A and B are shown apart, each in its own frame.
Chain A
Amino acid sequence: MLKFSEDHEWAKLDDDICTVGISPHAVEQLGDIVFVELPDTGTSVSKGDAVAVFESVKAASDIYSPAGGDVTEVNSALLDDLTAITPEKAMQNWLFKIKVSDVGDLESLMDEDAYNALIG
């Protein structure tokens, strides 16, 4: 199940593990990424918490957790080459995985069609 938030995160749920990334549109809007901070494995997060930061040349953007739970895995390989964070690879470039406490957290998110309508 793939869902999107209004803040341009994508969330993919497999059983109770939610993989989180940011949308191609968000990467395109950010422009050149110069700094990324990801959460630590083991961190407990609530839905809506600012858990990661993307900084472009122009601005900083917080990344919010689409669900509550514990961070089980972090894609720290992303930090090795920030130029590889492109709109084309945005759906493969996951940021972190969460063991979700309540899968109901994801119900309020949009499906892909609704998200595409949002970003026009």
Chain B
Amino acid sequence: MDIKQTPLYDFHRANGARMVPFAGWNMPVQYTHGIKAEHLATRNGAGLFDVSHMVQIELSGSGADTFFERLTPTDIGAVAEGRVRYSLFLNDAGGVLDDLMVARLDGHLHLVVNAGRAQHDINHLRQNLDAETRIEVHHDKALLALQGPQAAAVMSSLGLDLDGLRFMDIRRFELNSIPLVITRSGYTGEDGFEISMLATAVVEIAKTLLATNEVTLAGLGARDTLRLEAGLPLWGHELDETITPTMAGLKFALSKKRREAADFPGADVILDEFAHGPKRCLVGLLATGARPVRDGTILLHDGAEVGVVTSGGFSPSLDRPAALGLVDAKLADTGTVITAATRGSETPMTVASLPLVPHRYFRG
């Protein structure tokens, strides 16, 4: 299969990016300053990420809400015009097919799904489609994420009036006469924005943001360390078809109305876990030593296997190795010490509450 390029490919190369294959796309893993510098620039200032590999899908028609609810545990009727929700496509066993953002804009539902799951999601949507719903995949659009405590100031300095735009709001804007759809959201734990526009306009918008001199280009490497610290799950790591939202700490994504109706895929499994607790829970893990513990490492307690590291690496903000893992519920309390079995040695790890670095969303 041919590897895909976002419309910013040449821009990345010109800015010193190291390109790597990711989910079928050729993406910048880092630029010249490296993952740690890009990570800290995002935590302290503003980082600019190309997330155009994520796929934007629009659902419209009189059946769109009902259709969306058949596949997810979201009370979509409660998502007002101009608002955004985090949601999940679920299978009948309560496993997660993908996680996504869904927004209501101009009466239509706008979805953003993971690159690596996009084809699966599109097939899933099409197979379940009804006559009252239309689906449109926006391959002609690009997506940027501007994240960090200075992101709002950067946007304002370009003349964008953010007044009243809170975390998880979506609104239309215009910059250099280019139409933009901006959500105040992201996947770093920081205040920030995701900016959707036609692919033909994204280079100009990226250059305009970079020209403020307040913005640091950041690659997928920093995006991963930022979301790990923020305790945000990544499909294929903290989420997959065998991991339920209750295990992954996503109870907030199960709308009360939908729980009461028990009418979403996998509701029996998920509601049982909701009431009695899941067998395994997602936790943060901090190693006592300096050596990172990586994805897939088995976790032990008293010699028995009690979990697995789902994302392991290094936290630039904490300046120490950090990980996310699924562990047996009885060992998920903060402060519990468990053992990571790493390549011939054993590393003690302490369970830490999530997020590892506090979220700083702008709630107005």
Q: Does A70 contact B (CB under 8 A)?
A: no
Which B residues are in CB contact (< 8 Å) with A56? Answer: 35
Contact (Cβ within 8 A) A32 B29: no
Contact (Cβ within 8 A) A57 B294: no
- With A55-B292, A57-B314 known as contacts, the answer to whether A32 contacts B321 (CB < 8 A) is no
Contact (Cβ within 8 A) A37 B291: yes
Contact (Cβ within 8 A) A57 B313: yes
Q: Does A34 contact B (CB under 8 A)?
A: yes
CB-CB contacts of B29-42 with A at 8 A, as 1s and 0s? 11000111100000
With the chains together, A29 CA to B313 CA distance in Å?
Answer: 17
- Secondary structure at the B interface, as helix, strand, loop or mixed, is mixed
Contact (Cβ within 8 A) A58 B291: no
CB-CB contacts of B1-38 with A at 8 A, as 1s and 0s? 00000000000000000100000000001100011110
Contact (Cβ within 8 A) A34 B29: no
Which A residues are in CB contact (< 8 Å) with B29? Answer: 31, 58
Specify which of A34, A37, A57 lies most central, judged by the most chain B CB atoms within 10 Å of its CB. Answer: A57
Contact (Cβ within 8 A) B291 A57: no
| Chain A: CB-nearest residue to B220 | A58
Which A residues are in CB contact (< 8 Å) with B290? Answer: 34-35
Contact (Cβ within 8 A) A35 B292: yes
Q: Does B221 contact A (CB under 8 A)?
A: yes
Shortest distance between the CB of B203 and any CB in chain A (Å): 26
Contact (Cβ within 8 A) B291 A32: no
Shortest distance between the CB of A90 and any CB in chain B (Å): 15
Which B residues are in CB contact (< 8 Å) with A37? Answer: 291
Q: Does A84 contact B (CB under 8 A)?
A: no
With the chains together, A31 CA to B313 CA distance in Å?
Answer: 13
What is the interface size of chain A, counting residues whose CB is below 8 A from a CB of the partner? Answer: 13
What is the interface size of chain B, counting residues whose CB is below 8 A from a CB of the partner? Answer: 18
Which A residues are in CB contact (< 8 Å) with B36? Answer: 32, 57
Which B residues are in CB contact (< 8 Å) with A31? Answer: 18, 29-30, 34-35, 221
Which B residues are in CB contact (< 8 Å) with A59? Answer: 294
With the chains together, A59 CA to B224 CA distance in Å?
Answer: 12
Which B residues are in CB contact (< 8 Å) with A91? Answer: none
Q: Does A114 contact B (CB under 8 A)?
A: no
With the chains together, A70 CA to B285 CA distance in Å?
Answer: 38
| Chain B: CB-nearest residue to A83 | B36
Q: Does B56 contact A (CB under 8 A)?
A: no
Which A residues are in CB contact (< 8 Å) with B350? Answer: none
Shortest distance between the CB of A56 and any CB in chain B (Å): 8
With the chains together, A60 CA to B224 CA distance in Å?
Answer: 16
Shortest distance between the CB of A65 and any CB in chain B (Å): 17
Please give the residue numbers on chain B whose beta carbons come within 8 Å of chain A beta carbons, in ascending order: 18, 29-30, 34-37, 221, 224-225, 290-292, 294, 313-314, 316, 321
A-B contact pairs, 22 of them (CB 8 A): A29-B18, A31-B18, A31-B35, A32-B36, A32-B37, A34-B292, A35-B290, A35-B292, A35-B321, A55-B291, A56-B35, A57-B35, A57-B36, A57-B221, A57-B225, A57-B313, A57-B314, A58-B221, A58-B224, A58-B313, A59-B294, A60-B294
Please give the residue numbers on chain A whose beta carbons come within 8 Å of chain B beta carbons, in ascending order: 29, 31-32, 34-35, 37, 53, 55-60
